[in-house]
Amino acid sequence: MANKTGNYCAFYVTHIGSDSNLAAHGVKDFVYYNMLRAWKGKDSTFPFIDSHNKNYNVRDSSDWEKTLKPRLRDRINMSKNLIFFLSKDTKNSRAVREEINHAINVNAIPVIVVYTDYKEKSDIIDCTSKTLKKKITDMWGQVPTFKNSKDAVPVLHIPYKKELIRAALSDPDFRYSTKTKPSDYFFPC
């Protein structure tokens, strides 16, 4: 078994196949991933260990079957959880489908879904009924692989807020080796 110490980030990037890696930097979900890296760079105690740094970097124009997909799988195999950035702009791309399928259905690693369009717990949770809001559960349909597979692992749903991301990454219930039972979870309002 691989050494599962990293956090794998899955996010939608529109420019797969571009010869310029700079194209991805302008995509909204990629910016959120880079913010995790910046938080870690500024504060070494921020509990993010980037699985994308655990093997060779690849160009977006690399061959999907021979290079990109094997690298994604290697990185996921070394991860204790999957951070899935989900926004209104997220699409059901080949890469996102592969990342989610391999993380959940092959590796059974917990998922931390970060809803980047929302900043407060009350934006994603109905605080009275203590359930996820319909606008949130509707977003799962943007990526059917996630919607259809998520019940196999523990899934923590959080808005995009640094303190909540820190708490999620520090929570042993959402790490491969100490994960809790499969279900949907969130921090209460």
C-alpha to C-alpha distance for 184 and 165, rounded to whole angstroms = 16
Which sign, positive or negative, has the C-alpha torsion 3, 7, 12, 17? Answer: negative
pLDDT band at 52 (very low <50, low <70, confident <90, very high): confident
pLDDT score recorded for residue 70: 86
Q: Which residue in 175, 134, 130, 180 sits closest to 154, CA to CA?
A: 180
* Helix, strand, coil share (%) of the chain residues, nearest 5: 45, 15, 35
pLDDT at residue 20 is higher than 70 = no
Q: Which two tokens stand for residue 169?
A: 């990454």
pLDDT of res. 8? 95
Top mean-pLDDT range of 28-42, 60-74, 122-136? 122-136
Region 136-157: what's the mean pLDDT?
98
Q: Which range among 13-17, 66-70, 171-175 has the greatest average pLDDT?
A: 171-175
Cβ contacts of 106-109, under 8 Å, gap ≥ 24 = 106/73, 106/76, 107/76, 107/77, 107/79, 107/176, 108/152, 108/153, 108/176, 109/4, 109/8, 109/76, 109/79, 109/80, 109/81, 109/82, 109/153, 109/176, 109/179
Asked if pLDDT for residue 164 goes beyond 70, the answer is yes
What per-residue confidence (pLDDT) applies to 61? 54
Query: pLDDT grade, residue 69 (50/70/90)?
Result: confident
How does residue 71 score in pLDDT terms, banded at 50, 70 and 90? confident
Alpha helices (runs of H) in 43-133, residue ranges in sequence order: 69-77, 94-101, 121-124
User: Can you give the pTM of this predicted structure?
Assistant: 0.89
Q: Which domains does the chain have, with CATH numbers?
A: 6-186 (3.40.50.11200)
Q: Looking at per-residue confidence, does 180 or 17 come out higher?
A: 180
DSSP designation for 66: I
> Looking at the predicted structure, is the pLDDT value of residue 19 above 90?
no
Higher pLDDT, 137 or 4: 137
Q: Please give the average per-residue pLDDT across 57-83, as a whole number.
A: 80
* Distance in angstroms (rounded) separating the CA atoms of residues 71 and 63: 11
